[in-house]
Structure 1
Amino acid sequence: MSTHDLTQPPTQAPTQPGVTLEPLPDDPGTTALLHAWVTHPRSRFWQMQDATAADVAQEYRDIAASAHHDAWLGRVDGRPTFLAETYDPSRSPLADVGADLREGDLGMHLLVAPPVGPPRAGLTRAVMAAVLEHCFADPRVARVVVEPDVGNDAIARLNAEAGFVEVGTVRLPDKTARLSFLERADWARGQYPAPHLRPDVLARAQRQLVAKAIAELCHERLLAPRPATPVRAGGGSGGESAPAWTLTAPDGTEYRFTARRLPLEHWDLDPASLTRTRDGVFLPLDVQELVAEHAEPLGLRGELVAVYLEELAATLAWTCWQLDRPRMGVEDLLGASHAEVEAAVTEGHPGFVANRGRIGLGLAAHEAWSPDAARPVRLHWVAARRAASGLWLGRGWSAQDLPVLGPGRERDVLHARLRRHGLDPADYLLLPVHPWQWDAKVAVTFAPDVARRDLVPLGEGLTRYQAMQSIRTFTDLDDPRRVQVKTALAIQNMGFTRGLSPAYMEATPAVSDWVASVVEADPELHGRGFQVLREVAAAGYTGDVFHRHAPGAPQRKMLAALWRESPASAARPGERVVTMAALLHRDAAGDSYAAALVRASGLEPRAWVARYLDAYLRPVAHCLLAHDLAFMPHGENLLVALVDHAPVRCVMKDLGEEVALLSPDRPLPAGAERARARVDPDERCLAVLTDVVDGFLRHLAAVLDGAGVLPVSDFWDEAAGCLERHAADHPELADAVAAVGLQRPRFPHSCLNRLQLRDARQMVDIADQASSLLYAGTLENPLHRPEGADGATTSEGGEVGRLLTRP
Structure 2
Amino acid sequence: MTVVPVDPARDAPLVRSWLAAPASSWWGMQHLDEDAARRYLDAVRADPAQDGWLVLRNGGPCAYVETYDPAVVLLVDVWPAEPGDVGMHLLVAPPPATGRVHGLTSAVMRAVVGHCRDALGARRIVVEPDVRNTAVQAKNAEVGFRVLREVDVDGKRALLSVLDTARTPAADGGPDGDHAPEEDGPGAHLRPEHLDVAQRHLVAKAIAEFTHERLVAPRPDGDGWLLDTGAARYRFHARRHALEHWSIDEGSLARTAVDGRPLPLDAQDLVLELREVLGIPDTLLGTYLEEVASTLASAAAKHRRGGPSAGQLARGRRDGDLVAGFQDVEAAMTEGHPAFVAANGRIGFGLDEYRAYAPESGGRFRYRWLAARREHTHLALAADRTEDGHWAGELDPDTVARFRRTLRRRGLDPDDFVWLPVHPWQWQHRIAVTFAPDLGRQDLVDLGEGPDLHQPQQSIRTALNRSRPDRSYVKTALAVQNMGFLRGMSPAYMRTTPAVNDWVATIVAGDPALRDAGFRVLREHAAIGYTGDAYHRVDVASPQRKMLAALWRESPVPRTAPGERLLTMAALLHRDADGHAVVSELVRASGLAAADWVRGYLDAYLRPVVHCLTEHDLAFMPHGENLVLVVRDGAVTGAFVKDIGEEVVVLGAHDDRPVPDGIARILHPVDDDEAALAVFTDVFDGVLRFLAAVLDDDGVLPGAAFWELVGECVDRHAAEHPDRRRPLDLRVPTFEHSCLNRLQLRNTLTMVDLADQSSSLIRAGAMPNPIGRGTGRVATTPGAAGSTAVD
TM-score (norm 1): 0.78
- Please tell me the residue identity of whatever aligns with 1:704: L
Gaps of 5+ in 2: 6-22, 25-40, 80-86, 148-155, 164-178, 318-324, 778-791
- Please tell me the residue identity of whatever aligns with 1:213: A
User: In structure 1, what is the equivalent of residue 169 of structure 2?
Assistant: none
> 1:107 pairs with 69, 89, 93, which one?
89
Where 1:247 maps in the other structure, the secondary structure is strand
Distance 1:697 1:408 in 2: 46
User: In structure 2, what is the equivalent of residue 277 of structure 1?
Assistant: 256
Q: CA RMSD in A?
A: 3.9
Q: Quickly say closer, same or farther: Cα 1:288–1:562, change in 2 above 3 A.
A: same
Mapping for residues 303-702 of structure 1, pairs under 5 Å: 303-333=283-313, 334-336=315-317, 337-403=325-391, 408-549=397-538, 551-664=540-653, 665=655, 666-702=657-693
> 2:707 pairs with 716, 722, 730, which one?
716
Map Cα deviations across residues 165-198 of structure 1 (whole Å, 9 max, x no partner).
Answer: 9xxxxxxxxxxxxx99766499988833311111
Distance 1:787 1:705 in 2: 20
Deviation, 1:680, is 3.9
Is the 8 Å Cα contact of residues 516 and 532 (structure 1) preserved in structure 2? yes
Is the 8 Å Cα contact of residues 374 and 467 (structure 1) preserved in structure 2? yes
User: In structure 1, what is the equivalent of residue 277 of structure 2?
Assistant: 297
Q: Quickly say closer, same or farther: Cα 1:135–1:85, change in 2 above 3 A.
A: farther
User: In structure 2, what is the equivalent of residue 757 of structure 1?
Assistant: 745
User: In structure 1, what is the equivalent of residue 13 of structure 2?
Assistant: none
Distance 1:724 1:354 in 2: 36
> 2:128 pairs with 143, 146, 159, which one?
143
Q: Quickly say closer, same or farther: Cα 1:266–1:371, change in 2 above 3 A.
A: same
Q: Quickly say closer, same or farther: Cα 1:683–1:143, change in 2 above 3 A.
A: same
User: In structure 2, what is the equivalent of residue 204 of structure 1?
Assistant: 197
Distance 2:545 2:112 in 1: 51
Q: Quickly say closer, same or farther: Cα 1:432–1:787, change in 2 above 3 A.
A: closer
Deviation, 1:422, is 3.1
Distance 2:346 2:295 in 1: 8
Bigger Rg, structure 1 or 2? 1
Distance 1:484 1:262 in 2: 38
The answer on 1:259 being equivalent to 2:238 is yes
Is the 8 Å Cα contact of residues 199 and 296 (structure 2) preserved in structure 1? yes
Is the 8 Å Cα contact of residues 519 and 640 (structure 2) preserved in structure 1? yes
Distance 2:507 2:749 in 1: 35
The answer on 1:286 being equivalent to 2:266 is yes
Distance 2:562 2:368 in 1: 34
Deviation, 1:128, is 6.7
Deviation, 1:126, is 9.7
User: In structure 1, what is the equivalent of residue 207 of structure 2?
Assistant: 214
Deviation, 1:125, is 7.3
Distance 2:739 2:64 in 1: 56
Deviation, 1:24, is 4.5
Map Cα deviations across residues 92-148 of structure 1 (whole Å, 9 max, x no partner).
Answer: xxx9xxxx999667423569999xxxx99x999799799889999966736346999
Deviation, 1:71, is 6.3
Q: Quickly say closer, same or farther: Cα 1:134–1:343, change in 2 above 3 A.
A: farther
Stretch deviating more after TM superposition (401-410 or 183-192):
183-192
Could you tell me the percent identity over the aligned residues? 50
Map Cα deviations across residues 689-715 of structure 1 (whole Å, 9 max, x no partner).
Answer: 000000000000001111111000000
Deviation, 1:736, is 2.7
Q: Quickly say closer, same or farther: Cα 1:83–1:775, change in 2 above 3 A.
A: farther
Is the 8 Å Cα contact of residues 400 and 406 (structure 1) preserved in structure 2? no
Where 1:324 maps in the other structure, the secondary structure is helix
Where 1:390 maps in the other structure, the secondary structure is strand
Q: Quickly say closer, same or farther: Cα 1:772–1:515, change in 2 above 3 A.
A: same
> 1:745 pairs with 715, 730, 733, which one?
733
Is the 8 Å Cα contact of residues 164 and 180 (structure 1) preserved in structure 2? no
Distance 2:761 2:570 in 1: 23
- Please tell me the residue identity of whatever aligns with 1:365: E
Distance 1:159 1:531 in 2: 46
Gaps of 5+ in 1: 1-21, 27-44, 47-58, 166-178, 231-243, 790-807
Where 2:361 maps in the other structure, the secondary structure is coil
Distance 2:709 2:135 in 1: 67
Distance 1:182 1:647 in 2: 32
Is the 8 Å Cα contact of residues 126 and 162 (structure 2) preserved in structure 1? no
- Please tell me the residue identity of whatever aligns with 1:578: L
Deviation, 1:525, is 1.5
Is the 8 Å Cα contact of residues 256 and 273 (structure 1) preserved in structure 2? yes
Distance 1:580 1:483 in 2: 20
Where 2:577 maps in the other structure, the secondary structure is coil
Distance 1:185 1:363 in 2: 20
Is the 8 Å Cα contact of residues 640 and 649 (structure 1) preserved in structure 2? yes
Distance 2:646 2:389 in 1: 23
Where 1:387 maps in the other structure, the secondary structure is helix
Where 2:622 maps in the other structure, the secondary structure is coil
Is the 8 Å Cα contact of residues 67 and 88 (structure 2) preserved in structure 1? yes
Q: Quickly say closer, same or farther: Cα 1:213–1:787, change in 2 above 3 A.
A: closer
Where 2:372 maps in the other structure, the secondary structure is strand
The answer on 1:268 being equivalent to 2:238 is no
Distance 1:688 1:280 in 2: 44
Mapping for residues 46-195 of structure 1, pairs under 5 Å: 68-69=50-51, 86-88=65-67, 106-108=88-90, 141=126, 143-144=128-129, 184=161, 191-195=184-188
Q: Quickly say closer, same or farther: Cα 1:140–1:434, change in 2 above 3 A.
A: farther
Distance 2:531 2:183 in 1: 42
Where 1:367 maps in the other structure, the secondary structure is helix
- Please tell me the residue identity of whatever aligns with 1:600: A
Distance 1:390 1:325 in 2: 42
> 1:736 pairs with 689, 706, 726, which one?
726
Is the 8 Å Cα contact of residues 49 and 68 (structure 2) preserved in structure 1? no
Distance 1:492 1:512 in 2: 27
Is the 8 Å Cα contact of residues 141 and 184 (structure 1) preserved in structure 2? yes
Is the 8 Å Cα contact of residues 535 and 563 (structure 1) preserved in structure 2? yes
Q: Quickly say closer, same or farther: Cα 1:65–1:690, change in 2 above 3 A.
A: closer
Distance 2:609 2:642 in 1: 13
User: In structure 1, what is the equivalent of residue 38 of structure 2?
Assistant: none
Q: Quickly say closer, same or farther: Cα 1:102–1:698, change in 2 above 3 A.
A: closer
Distance 1:450 1:161 in 2: 44
Is the 8 Å Cα contact of residues 399 and 406 (structure 1) preserved in structure 2? no
Map Cα deviations across residues 445-495 of structure 1 (whole Å, 9 max, x no partner).
Answer: 101111121111111101111111101111111221221111110001110
Distance 2:637 2:135 in 1: 57
